[in-house]
A and B are shown apart, each in its own frame.
Chain A
Amino acid sequence: MAQTGKPLPLLAAALALGPGVAQAAYKFNMQEPATALGEQVYFLHNMMTAVCGVIFVAVFAVMFYSVFVHRKSLGAKAANFHENMLVEVLWTVVPVFILLAIAWPVTKTVLGMRDTSNPDITIKATGYQWKWGYDYLKGEGEGIHFVSNLSTPQDQIHGKAEKGEHYLLEVDNPLVVPVGKKIRILTTAADVIHAWFVPALAVKQDAVPGFIRDTHFRADKEGVFRGQCAELCGKDHGFMPIEVHVLSAEKYAAWVGEQKKKMAALADDPNKTWNLGELKKRGEQVYASNCAACHQPTGKGNPPAFPALAGSKVVLGPKQAQIETELNGRPGTAMAAFKHLSDVELAAVITYTRNAFGNATGEAIQPSEIKAARK
């Protein structure tokens, strides 16, 4: 792995002040980059900060010289000059050349950042309120898909338990990629705009509902890299982290094998008829990871933006209307479409809501009904 950045002397000196006094938590610069592009970004930031620092010192040396020497209280008499064509031209033209010198390396990095061609693996990251879904579309691991939720317990957030080391930056199912491979991330969203941001990988890309955008990275070391949603996306915007595990080629291949097995085991038989108990049990899990953030684990919601499901007219009414709402959402409200869930998951969660929180319709919605409603 190449040396991190090329910190210029000035900045290096400034940073050297840190370690002796401060603990690791006082971090004065960007996270250590894990990609070649990240190192370029790190360098560009340091370089620009140093250039600005030099100009800043030069300009304000003049200001402070005047402030301390040309004081009325020291008997300074004001000069009367107020124009000089030469200096005006100089301080207009010289910065142009400084900017040109800076623009050149930045342009190269920008071109590198936007070059998403010839990826080894393509993964779609979908932003949901408030979690990320990943679909491995192409390359090794094709077909794997899962949803990645915050795994920090609520008790830690509300101060009822000690906060863990990776508080708010940990998920149940991390994104896993191999080291040294070009990973292209396609971003999109199901509801509102999110942004997929992992600082150490130098990647931030908005996820716009209804559109596909892309970005890429090639991690040059193994490790765990953490990031967060970077575009305000509503209530739990601060609670939808991103965790990327970069593994060696062998470990990645093993992980892919394991995932495939797991998915095969989980695959539901679409023709099976489920009984009420099975559906409720499965539905409770689906509810916890998809619905509880808004409608609350108690089903009491958070009205008026997030209505209660307990005693709700929709939930206790005809099932067709509820299936319709789940599949298509309610445009203009916070209720998103959930058609990305499987027929079984939707059937289970609808059954669960109709038979929990004091609702007791006794109805069991079958996956086949969802399948029919999708048409």
Chain B
Amino acid sequence: MASIPGHADAGHGHEHEHHHPTGFMRWVTTTNHKDIGSMYLWFSFAMFLVGGVMALVIRAELFKPGLQFVEPEFFNQMTTLHGLIMVFGAIMPAFVGFANWQIPLMIGASDMAFARMNNWSFWLLPPAGTLLVLSLFMPGGSGGVGWTLYPPLSTQMGIGMDFMIFAVHILGMSSIMGSINIVTTILNMRAPGMTLMKMPLFCWTWLITAYLVIAVMPVLAGAVTMILCDRHFGTSFFNAAGGGDPVLYQHVFWFFGHPEVYIIAIPAFGVVSQIIPAFSRKPLFGYASMVYATSSIAILSFIVWAHHMYTTGMPVAGQLYFMYATMLIAIPTGVKVFNWVATLYRGSLSFEAPMLFSLGFLFLFTLGGFSGLVLSMTAVDVQLHDTYYVVAHFHYVMVAGALFSAFGGVYYWLPKWTGHMYDEGLAKLHFWLSLIFFNVTFFVQHFLGLAGMPRRIPDYAPQFAEFNMISSIGAFGFGLTQLLFLYVVIKCIKGGPKAAAKPWDGAEGLEWTVPSPAPYHTFETPPVVK
């Protein structure tokens, strides 16, 4: 955690610097972007562990055919909560945590634009996470419906389902507030001379992501509210018997859900775009084209939603349109990958943990992109939809993509946050174990999906046994490896070699002009960017 040096900048004295609360109340009442960033990151890690344990329950049950540990209802609840917790509780807050810490430091602002709302948007998260976990202890348990909450299955569930709906509402409010804050901060609080096209790419990716969040979170809130009404108030939005249509929900959900994929991926692109140039000691190749490619991805993400629904039975014209639109996404995504590789080319590369995770990201995210391209073909997707191929595909982009990028970001900025260098040897070990176990877990799932194993089943035919066993072994390895990450981070907070203001010789940007650890208040006088 950042220490609180009691410095008072002459001429910019703020009275709140003197009587601020200490201990627990400091964290409850804080409006400091660094405190809030740290809380986001810790919350996200805690949720990552909770969601991870659920994944291990799933993999334990799937270790071999037959029902061994859990009943099918509970298994379904695990897959559902694992998805919701990882998406809304772990990955999204992690990147909001990075945004809180880094955006003000990167653009030379003293704090986020709406400091009190920032506090509120964080403190909405713990109640929402609690609601999700509490839903398990309701009569009938949580909703075993998949994170997509499709009706009419979700209208059948018990009260645990209502807990989930309200959790989604609260999580959505939190991310909307966080995003409004980020947009306002970036557009209004840049240091003099920092034009938009001079911003670090991480700020660009978050600016674009924040617009996506503001656009689609209300759509999700609307969709789950309609489920709530169908459940309790006698409406029939998604009930054919009352004139509704279950597939309508899927259209509304995926209108949110597809941009959501990029809400998770785009900030990850941003982190990697900071790290790769730093450790290549060479400027990012094609900065402008990166900005345009990211914007194109964001815009395209709004017009491809029904590629999640090829099997619902849409007209052939619809299937073809969504296929062509989906294929188009490969183009800006390809541009980004090519730019990253061109940045590496003829650089002067060194391989500290942030760089390793970024290279791992680049390699595996691209693989996930390719399996996405395979899935974009309607005819093939009809075969692979709702099989383990899809599970493998999205874990390549969510775990090897977003999560690896987040690990890279943590190692990259830990010296700035704590003032200490982390243990490089252990961090590298964390990378290699994560890389190996990740692939052991998920690569074989491609084969399961190709052979026709549906997802979300607690038991399976013997022909799927071998790959499932391999996958489960990998999952436990991956899970345990993350405890090593926790250890490295705690060790780094407690001590370690003193970090210089700029610990990475190739790093660029304003955040490296302030001391390490970053003082509680930074840039109270805006720096001037040439």
Q: Which residue of A lies closest to B286 (CB)?
A: A88
Q: Which residue of A lies closest to B363 (CB)?
A: A60
Question: Is B451 within 8 A of A199, CB to CB?
Answer: yes
Q: Which residue of B lies closest to A330 (CB)?
A: B156
CB distance from B408 to the nearest CB of A (A): 15
Neighbouring A residues of B527 by C-beta, 8 Å: none
Neighbouring A residues of B323 by C-beta, 8 Å: 103, 106-107, 110
CB distance from A103 to the nearest CB of B (A): 6
Q: Which residue of B lies closest to A53 (CB)?
A: B370
- With an 8 A cutoff between CB atoms, is B459 at the interface? yes
Question: Is B241 within 8 A of A210, CB to CB?
Answer: yes
Question: Is B312 within 8 A of A208, CB to CB?
Answer: yes
Question: Is A304 within 8 A of B374, CB to CB?
Answer: no
Given contacts A102-B377, A204-B311, A233-B153, contact A79 B346 (CB under 8 A): yes
Question: Is A63 within 8 A of B359, CB to CB?
Answer: yes
Neighbouring A residues of B239 by C-beta, 8 Å: 210, 331
Question: Is A78 within 8 A of B281, CB to CB?
Answer: yes
- With an 8 A cutoff between CB atoms, is B222 at the interface? no
Neighbouring A residues of B335 by C-beta, 8 Å: 88, 91-92
List the one stretch of A44-52, A252-260, A313-321 in contact with chain B: A44-52
**Distance A191 CA – B240 CA, assembled complex (angstroms):** 10
Most buried by A among B156, B283, B287, B337: B156
**Distance A50 CA – B340 CA, assembled complex (angstroms):** 23
Neighbouring B residues of A41 by C-beta, 8 Å: 379-380, 382-383
Majority DSSP secondary structure for residues of B touching A: helix
Question: Is A44 within 8 A of B348, CB to CB?
Answer: no
Question: Is A48 within 8 A of B349, CB to CB?
Answer: no
Most buried by A among B146, B245, B313: B313
- With an 8 A cutoff between CB atoms, is B495 at the interface? no
- With an 8 A cutoff between CB atoms, is B73 at the interface? yes
**Distance A27 CA – B448 CA, assembled complex (angstroms):** 8
**Distance A67 CA – B282 CA, assembled complex (angstroms):** 14
> Residue B153 contacts which of A27, A193, A210, A304 (CB distance < 8 angstroms)?
A193
**Distance A113 CA – B346 CA, assembled complex (angstroms):** 48
Question: Is A67 within 8 A of B246, CB to CB?
Answer: no
Neighbouring B residues of A52 by C-beta, 8 Å: 370, 373-374
Given contacts A82-B283, A191-B152, contact A113 B382 (CB under 8 A): yes
Question: Is A70 within 8 A of B344, CB to CB?
Answer: yes
State how many residues of chain A have any CB contact under 8 Å with chain B. 104
- With an 8 A cutoff between CB atoms, is A291 at the interface? no
> Residue B73 contacts which of A156, A187, A229, A235 (CB distance < 8 angstroms)?
A235
**Distance A331 CA – B239 CA, assembled complex (angstroms):** 9
Interface residues of B in 264-307 (CB under 8 A from A): 280-289
Neighbouring A residues of B345 by C-beta, 8 Å: 62, 65-66, 70
Interface residues of A in 41-85 (CB under 8 A from B): 41, 44-45, 48-49, 52, 55-56, 59-60, 62-63, 65-67, 70-73, 76-84
State how many residues of chain B have any CB contact under 8 Å with chain A. 101
Given contacts A78-B346, A168-B461, A235-B144, contact A44 B316 (CB under 8 A): no
Neighbouring A residues of B467 by C-beta, 8 Å: 26
Given contacts A63-B363, A79-B347, contact A230 B386 (CB under 8 A): yes
**Distance A305 CA – B103 CA, assembled complex (angstroms):** 47
Neighbouring A residues of B139 by C-beta, 8 Å: 303-304
Question: Is B156 within 8 A of A232, CB to CB?
Answer: no
Most buried by A among B67, B230, B287, B386: B386
Question: Is B313 within 8 A of A205, CB to CB?
Answer: yes
> Residue A208 contacts which of B246, B362, B374, B382 (CB distance < 8 angstroms)?
B246
Question: Is A63 within 8 A of B341, CB to CB?
Answer: yes
**Distance A204 CA – B383 CA, assembled complex (angstroms):** 6
Interface residues of A in 258-309 (CB under 8 A from B): 302-305
Q: Please, could you name 8 A-B residue pairs with CB atoms under 8 Å apart, sorted by A?
A: A31-B451, A72-B348, A78-B280, A87-B338, A95-B331, A197-B454, A202-B383, A333-B156
Contacts A103-B323, A305-B140 known; list 13 others, CB within 8 Å.
Answer: A25-B466, A27-B450, A65-B345, A73-B350, A78-B281, A80-B282, A102-B327, A167-B461, A191-B152, A204-B382, A210-B241, A232-B153, A305-B157
